[in-house]
Amino acid sequence: MTKVSRSEFQTLKKINILKDLDEEELKIVIDRTRRVEAPSGMVIMEEGSMGDTMYFFVNGVVDITKSLTLKIDRKGFENVEKSMIKLDSNVVSFFGEMALIEESTRSANVTASTDCLLLEINKEDFEDICDQHPAVGLKMLRRISQVLSRNVRKGNEDVLKLTTALSIALSRT
């Protein structure tokens, strides 16, 4: 059972995935989490590794990066780490949600930019919540589905913009 302070409990009540839960339902979820204190510089998730945990973001800032293969002058190709976005606990309240839905590798690296406090829930515990408390699981899955749907929609928009830019660049050569 994870111990959280009253202020941390209040923070968790505001997390998008958890905001439909009443206090008793929220306690069910918190009891299945593990407290993770990630010091600045700690790699929390590694791109390409198998993922089976999601993190509720209590406080801190993390950097999301991806490995990219880029052509560097005439030297050839190199793998470089590209910073995609910084997530601040004041704005984004969770990450790693895809690991609760599917068995796959992590899509990016997540590194603590500052000292972070996280609550980790693994896929097995999440599935147990869904089995033992279906109303709680359904509320959480609805919110996770909304987030994933929003991310797919944004990804589609980004692909369209990149395709248009590439088409314009190629037409000029």
pLDDT digits (tens, 9 = 90+) for 93-117: 889 988 888 888 898 899 999 999 9
Return the H-helix or E-strand segment holding 121.
strand 116-122
Question: What is d(CA 36, CA 57) in angstroms, rounded to the nearest whole number?
Answer: 10
| Sequence ranges of the domains in the chain | 6-171
Q: Name the superfamily (CATH) of residues 6-171.
A: Jelly Rolls (2.60.120.10)
Cα 151 vs. chain centroid, distance in angstroms? 11
Quote the CA–CA distance of 128 and 68 in Å, as a whole number: 37
Residue 68 clears pLDDT 80, i.e. is over it: no
pTM of the model: 0.78
pLDDT for 1 equals 59
pLDDT at 88: 83
Name 12's Cβ contacts closer than 8 Å, sequence gap at least 6: 4, 18, 26, 30, 56, 58, 119
pLDDT bracket for residue 52 (50, 70, 90): very high
Give the pLDDT band (50/70/90) at residue 38: very high
